[in-house]
């Protein structure tokens, strides 16, 4: 088997501007491989054949005899890998786990590491999203394209903020990526992305690194408004304790407390009532209107039980539009709190259906 250090020396030739003068060195290395005395002949022979194929690929890379696509196909043939993103990802992940840097280096040299999935994630971006530290480290160390972005315009730093690995995040920054980069479409940086994804440890890590909790995205959404999506009150409480504003309106006049109602996060809604005071509870789009429109029965019940909103005719009309298909006793009881006549009619309809079925 060729020593890793020798193979790495050989592969480094591909990045040298004057690499053509090393052609004889490459060919001589191939000759020495053929002359090596092999033990366990079948295994050694197969391994030598793989590395001879690697040498051939590098020679063709040096002379530009083939395109990267052709070299990639030859690489896939060597290891009998299908030209599918998941298969290639899994293969490179396995190679990274066993510290096979030579194979990873060849893959990066010929561009195999830049194959993309249906979301335009390269192998690196996918590894960041999957918290695959070994693969991220190996790809970066072997000169993959670390500045790649996917269909959503997220790079490795932002993908890592989605998945939540502080170890990968620190490694990327150490290797030259910008910690403060923002998505060009949404305007969200690492901490806003982590808040939306609900990655508490990442949020705390970023705050310790100097990230501001006052940052806004292009829709004027702050960290608390985005964090509501995670459904995790502990995160939101932490953000408030660190001076994030729970009463800040977004560009479309959204508030964290309104979003909690729409998404059905009762605990967050209950707690935000303590902190949010700059809204009119009886405005056109009040809590009850939002809760009914999004069929959030538990929040509807809480709003009525606590008398947070005065029930109006519009609420009864909304019940007919949005809650007419309720199918549990608990939901029926919730409807009765808004419109007893409608609820009675509903139960009568159900009784009629039951009699008909019998």
Q: What is the pLDDT of residues 243-279, one digit of tens each?
A: 999 999 999 999 999 999 999 999 999 999 999 876 6
Confidence of residue 120 (pLDDT cuts 50, 70, 90): very high
Residue 7 CA, distance from chain mean position = 35
The packing angle between helices 329-336 and 340-357, to 10°, is 150
Residue 5's pLDDT is: 45
Confidence of residue 105 (pLDDT cuts 50, 70, 90): confident
In angstroms, rounded to a whole number, what is the distance separating the alpha carbons of residues 349 and 97? Answer: 63
Confidence of residue 21 (pLDDT cuts 50, 70, 90): very low
Q: What are the sequence ranges of the domains in the chain?
A: 280-352
Q: What's the mean pLDDT when you consider all of the chain?
A: 84
Residue 41's pLDDT is: 58
Q: For residue 295, is it left (φ>0), alpha (ψ between -120 and 50) or beta?
A: left
Q: Report which of residues 247 and 56 the model is more confident about.
A: 247
Q: Two tokens at 182?
A: 């923002």
Q: CA torsion 19→20→25→28, rounded to 10°?
A: 140
- Whether residue 38 contacts residue 44, with contact meaning beta carbons closer than 8 Å, is answered with yes
pLDDT score of 38 more than 70 = no
Residue 123's pLDDT is: 99
pLDDT tens-digit profile of 223-237? 999 999 999 999 999
In angstroms, rounded to a whole number, what is the distance separating the alpha carbons of residues 138 and 217? Answer: 33
pTM of the model: 0.80
pLDDT tens-digit profile of 134-159? 999 999 999 999 999 999 999 999 99
pLDDT score of 20 more than 50 = no
Alpha helices in 246-296, H assignment, sequence order: 256-263, 266-275, 287-293
pLDDT score of 51 more than 60 = no
- The answer to which of 44-48, 74-78, 166-170 has the lowest mean pLDDT is 44-48
- Looking at the chain, the whole-number percentage of residues with pLDDT higher than 90 is 61
Confidence of residue 342 (pLDDT cuts 50, 70, 90): low
Q: Report which of residues 34 and 106 the model is more confident about.
A: 106
């Amino acid at each position: 088997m060729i020593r890793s250090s020798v193979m790495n020396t050989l592969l480094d030739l591909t990045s040298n501007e004057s690499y053509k003068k090393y052609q004889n060195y490459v060919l001589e290395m191939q000759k020495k491989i053929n002359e090596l005395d092999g033990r366990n002949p079948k295994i050694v022979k197969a391994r030598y054949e793989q590395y001879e194929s690697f040498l051939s690929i590098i020679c063709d890379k040096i002379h530009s005899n083939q395109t990267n696509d052709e070299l990639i196909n030859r690489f896939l043939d060597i290891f009998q890998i299908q030209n599918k993103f998941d298969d290639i990802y899994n293969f490179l992940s396995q190679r990274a786990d066993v510290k096979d840097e030579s194979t990873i280096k060849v893959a990066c040299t010929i561009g195999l590491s830049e194959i993309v999935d249906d979301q335009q994630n390269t192998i690196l971006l996918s590894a960041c999203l999957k918290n695959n530290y070994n693969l991220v480290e190996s790809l970066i160390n072997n000169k993959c394209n670390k500045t790649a972005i996917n269909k959503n315009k997220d790079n490795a730093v932002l993908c890592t903020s989605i998945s939540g690995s502080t170890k990968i995040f620190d490694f990327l920054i150490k290797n030259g990526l910008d910690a403060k980069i923002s998505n060009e479409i949404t305007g969200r940086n690492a901490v806003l992305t982590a808040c939306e994804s609900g990655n508490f440890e990442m949020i705390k890590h970023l705050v310790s690194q100097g990230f501001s909790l006052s940052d806004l995205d292009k829709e004027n959404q702050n960290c608390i408004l985005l964090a509501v999506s995670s459904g995790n009150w502990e995160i939101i409480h932490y953000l408030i304790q660190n001076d994030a504003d729970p009463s800040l309106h977004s560009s479309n006049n959204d508030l964290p407390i309104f979003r909690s109602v729409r998404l059905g996060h009762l605990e967050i809604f209950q707690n935000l009532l303590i902190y949010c005071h700059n809204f009119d509870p009886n405005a056109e789009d009040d809590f009850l209107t939002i809760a009914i429109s999004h069929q959030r029965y538990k929040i509807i019940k809480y709003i009525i039980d606590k008398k947070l909103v005065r029930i109006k005719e519009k609420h009864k009309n909304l019940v007919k539009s949005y809650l007419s298909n309720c199918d549990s006793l608990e939901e029926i009881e919730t409807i009765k709190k808004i419109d007893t006549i409608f609820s009675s009619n509903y139960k009568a309809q159900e009784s009629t259906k039951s009699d008909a079925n019998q």
